Amino acid sequence: MNPNPTVVFLIPIASPQVVKDWPLACGYLQRTLGSIFNSTNGDFRVVVAGHEPPDFPLPPDERFKYLPVSYPVPSPSNQISWVAPVRDKMLKLAAAWDYAKATSTPRYVMKVDWDDLISSRLVEWLARAKDAAGYRIKHGWIWRPSPRAFIQCTETFDRMCGSCLIIRRDMADLTGPFLHSCDGAKFDAAGQQLEASDLYSLIPGAGTGTLLLNDSHTRAEAQFAHLGHALPAVSFRAAIYRSGHGNNASGQYHRSHNLRMLLGRLRRTRLVTAGLKKEFNLE
């Protein structure tokens, strides 16, 4: 096993105490891991952190580590409801990242949600990349449970999915005003209004956090710019966002769709081809 892998994937999994459908979550996580281990370049590691291990045989591979955590499951009591799961996610990412740094020296680190899928080409692409401070997945796919035979392409993947950011190792622990309301930061009325109207910039008064350990992925370009770096895009559709299955945050929100939005969604809809199934290890 290479002690200096191209990339380490960090995957936090929620506790069955808070997940609506634990068997479904385990099934999706198994597919997520399958998509990573389907990579054409095997120079990677995976660290999964959780309160309880998933209900399936874990990969018998030295590149894989399941890391148990023992702190209490964060409760939404006395907090805004969406802050507790984000806090839980960040604590698990921090533990996974500490383990990864203690046992290897990866070139890049990537946060991956337990239900998303990674292209088999991504590790190879990163191995050949020009060593930028980081990359964002701008072009990707959205896959909903029904109808399963269709998938939607998007050019704004990094605006809607947390599995969109690849950070060079030496950048991951750099700090800045990167914590916003989703991370538990508190703003005055003017700051709240600005944050709601500007989803992509850093808001004055934001909390101090590291580049890796925040959930404000729509502001990633502004975060890198604050540190003096550009954030180029991966050159192909490198990930699938599994949306609308009811076990992730997207299932908690319902957006209204006008005719223009529905026509745009239809325009971006594609058949799930044999090539996509092979690339993303789709069932």
Residue 136: strand pairing partners: 165, 233
Distances (CA, A) of 50 to 17, 21, 134, 184, 220: 12, 16, 26, 21, 25
Assess if residue 96 is contained within a domain. Answer: yes
Q: For the segment 23-32, what is each residue's pLDDT rounded down to a tens digit?
A: 999 999 999 9
Tokens 């805004």, residue? 80
Q: For the segment 175-227, what is each residue's pLDDT rounded down to a tens digit?
A: 999 999 999 999 999 999 999 999 999 999 999 999 999 999 999 999 999 99
Which residues neighbour 57 within 8 Å (Cβ) at sequence distance 6 or greater? Answer: none
> Using a CB cutoff of 8 Å and minimum separation of 24, what contacts does 90-94 make?
90/183, 90/213, 90/214, 90/215, 92/12, 92/13, 92/49, 92/50, 93/10, 93/12, 93/49, 93/212, 93/213, 94/213
- pLDDT for res 74: 77
φ, ψ of residue 108 in degrees (nearest 5) = -135, 160
Assess if residue 159 is contained within a domain. Answer: yes
- Cα–Cα distance, 258 to 122 (Å, whole number): 35
Task: Give the CB-side neighbour count of residue 177, counting CA atoms within 13 A.
Answer: 11
* Mean of pLDDT over the chain: 91
- pLDDT for res 254: 40
- pLDDT for res 192: 94
Assess if residue 171 is contained within a domain. Answer: yes
**Minimum mean pLDDT among 4-8, 77-81, 238-242, 275-279: which range?**
77-81
Nearest of 50, 42, 61 to residue 26 by alpha carbon: 50
Token pair recorded at residue 77: 């009591």
Q: CA angle 266-269-275, nearest 5°? A: 170
Q: Tell me the CA end-to-end span of the chain in Å, nearest whole number.
A: 29
Number of domains in the chain: 1
% of the chain beyond a pLDDT of 70: 90
Give the pairing of strands 239-242 and 207-210. Answer: unpaired
Q: For the segment 123-179, what is each residue's pLDDT rounded down to a tens digit?
A: 999 999 988 999 999 999 999 887 789 999 999 999 999 999 999 999 999 999 999
- Cα–Cα distance, 7 to 2 (Å, whole number): 11
- Cα–Cα distance, 138 to 238 (Å, whole number): 9
Q: Which domain holds residue 184?
A: 7-280
Assess if residue 1 is contained within a domain. Answer: no
CATH number for position 33: 3.90.550.10
**pLDDT confidence tier of residue 283, bands split at 50, 70 and 90:** confident
Assess if residue 238 is contained within a domain. Answer: yes
Asked if pLDDT for residue 16 goes beyond 80, the answer is yes
Assess if residue 61 is contained within a domain. Answer: yes
- pLDDT for res 253: 38
**pLDDT higher at 261 or 82:** 82
Question: What is the pTM for the complete model shown?
Answer: 0.92
Token pair recorded at residue 46: 């995976």
Asked if pLDDT for residue 252 goes beyond 50, the answer is no
Q: CA angle 7-9-11, nearest 5°? A: 170
Q: For the segment 80-132, what is each residue's pLDDT rounded down to a tens digit?
A: 567 888 999 999 999 999 999 999 999 999 999 999 999 999 999 999 998 89
Assess if residue 217 is contained within a domain. Answer: yes
Alpha-carbon dihedral sign for residues 42, 43, 49, 52:
positive
Assess if residue 117 is contained within a domain. Answer: yes
- Cα–Cα distance, 197 to 144 (Å, whole number): 28
